């Protein structure tokens, strides 16, 4: 049995601007949450699974060689790997057109 509490996934926040003047606003889809792989539950954008923020706060690095996928880093310090096979291609950042 785990001693860690069960945590709800973070709410999705859209991030605009550049450091140090980031702008934050709630996602226009009520109840939009961020899954462990960084996919949001309603709007389909990419966001950090640790803090819920998605947009200009995220940077990506495509991996080559043995590891296939994209390393994504958030300004909160969290980073994760999205596999190309699982996502069907490159991840879509919040600010990018769909």
Using a pLDDT cut of 70, give the percent of the chain over it.
72
Number of DSSP helices (H) and strands (E) in the chain, helices first? 1, 6
- Give residue limits of the domains in the chain: 13-87
Least confident range from 62-66, 74-78, 86-90: namely 86-90
32: phi then psi, degrees, rounded to nearest 5: -65, 125
Q: What is the pTM of this model?
A: 0.74
Residue 87: CB atoms within 10 A of its CB come to 16
Name the residue with tokens 């995220």: 58
pLDDT digits (tens, 9 = 90+) for 41-63: 999 999 999 999 999 999 988 77
């Amino acid at each position: 049995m785990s001693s860690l509490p069960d945590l709800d996934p973070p709410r999705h926040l859209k991030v605009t601007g550049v450091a140090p003047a980031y702008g934050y606003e709630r996602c226009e889809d009520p109840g939009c949450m961020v899954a462990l792989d960084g996919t949001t539950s309603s709007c389909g954008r990419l966001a950090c699974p640790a803090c819920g923020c998605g947009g200009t706060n995220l940077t990506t690095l495509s991996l080559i060689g043995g590891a296939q996928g994209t390393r994504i880093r958030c300004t909160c310090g969290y980073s994760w790997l999205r596999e190309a096979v699982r996502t069907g291609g490159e991840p879509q950042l919040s600010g990018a057109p769909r």
